[in-house]
Amino acid sequence: MPQLNGASELSSLVSLLKTIVGAGLMSIPLAFSTDGVVVGVLIVALAAITSGYGLFLQAYVARFVPKGHATFFNICSITYPALSVVFDTAIAVQCFGCAISYLVLIGDLMPTIVETVPFVPSEHHRSFWILASGVLCVPLSFLKNLDSLKYTSILGLVAIGYLALLVVCEYFFGHVSHKLRGEIVLVPSSLQGLFSTFSIVVFAYTGHQNMFSIINEAANNSLPSMARLINFAVLCASVLFILVGLTGYLTFGDKVGGNVILLYPSSWYSTVGRVAIVFMVIFLFPLMLHPARISVNNIYFWIRTHIKTNQENAGSEEPVSSETSALLEAVPSRASLRPSPVVPFPDTTFYTISTILLVVGYTAAVTIKSFALVLAIVGATGSTAISFILPGLFGYKLIGSDTDEPTKQEHTLKYMSLALVLWGFVVMVVCLYSSLAL
């Protein structure tokens, strides 16, 4: 049954779409430059289908845990309990690393927009702008629910809309010299080149880290409603990726860079585009801190619970609280599944974890000049686990587990889930290879 209160379908759509379409949008033309027009579109379509199915599986398996308590940790606890803390650690590192990268991007972009800052030496401009972003990032990071971020997410989507419009208009009516345009191809010239930008497109659809929160907060979190939400969000993202990817690539050819906005001639509209990128990542920062904070709390809960359990009764099963028992009454269960714990998140813990993450994040962004390789490796493992491997494992384990005789459709979904897991490992190998060998 749908929840009586919660986020509207529009609010849920805004949260999911803003999580999916982030700063990576401006790198899609670079992927087309190595993939070619035809293969580039095909890879976008493949990424949309695989990522969309991963999101659908999250919506499907959310009903196997207490309503409003769907997390990677909780579902791991009833499927692969020994791995729950391992996967949550990967999720925390991945999401937190992305959040730090947004602060680094702010520090790199703002000095190109505002060249002088009173009383601040030029060598400290980068640090100044990173710290100045805290005026917006810090208060937004202390909001507990994604629904509370819907208005900033709308502003972020407006910024994305402007950037997409800028790229498209510059192709049709722009001022880019033909001398700046490189070669344009339909298919990739080499497999090595395709591998080098493979992760850009595959991870462009990563919104899985916030999907469970969207499900938990939705007023109508029924599977048909969530399926409509996912289909529409993925469709909108696909249109944006193909539109920006093609027009950005056709404008610059193989001379396109990692951020197409930075290639346009200096003008008021290209400057506004850079400002739009800054505001987009500022509004993305709390969206990435949100799942990182949940995962850190899950890890803290796991450590605290296991220490207490080992002290009281070494090797015994985790006790199930009365609150958990009551919540589990309406949850489908099988003998092979453990009860899912309800992980508490009291205000004191919430504010403590948030403060620690913000302090560590801003310190890292100011002091670390470049951690691109580390972020690429973490992304290849963490994003793959979040987007493909975990949803696939959950689906394979849980689909049809609440009935004695699974239907033909459930059998099909189970083996599609297994295929998604295998796809995830292929993606991981290719992305690690491109990060380390290319």
Is the residue at 324 inside a domain? no
- CATH number for the domain spanning 51: value is 1.20.1740.10
Say which amino acid occupies 243.
Answer: L
224 residue type, one letter:
P
Q: Could you tell me if residue 338 is inside a domain?
A: no
CA 421 to CA 393: how far, in whole Å?
7
**Structural domain contains residue 270:** yes
Domain assignment present for 326: no
- 4 is a domain residue: no
Nearest to 388 by CA among 40, 9, 99, 50: 50
Q: What is the DSSP string of 161-207?
A: HHHHHHHHHHHHH----GGG-----SS-S-HHHHHHTHHHHHGGG--
Q: In the beta sheet, which residues pair with residue 7? A: 218
Backbone angles phi, psi at 68, to 5 degrees: 85, 5
Report mean pLDDT in 10-residue bins for the chain, 438 residues.
68 91 85 91 94 95 87 89 85 88 88 87 90 93 88 90 92 76 84 82 87 92 93 95 93 86 84 90 91 93 78 51 48 52 86 96 85 66 88 92 84 94 92 75
**Domain range holding 195?**
9-315+368-436
Residue 406 lies inside a defined structural domain of this protein: yes
**Domain count of the fold of the chain:** 1
Residue 75 falls inside a structural domain: yes
Type of residue found at 125:
H
Distances (CA, A) of 367 to 124, 282, 353, 374: 11, 19, 21, 15
Closest CA to 317 of 151, 77, 79: 77
Residue 320 lies in a domain: no
Q: What is the reported pLDDT for 108?
A: 86
C-alpha 357: how far from chain center = 18
- Taking the CA atoms of 181, 185, 188 and 189 in sequence, report the sign of the dihedral they define: negative
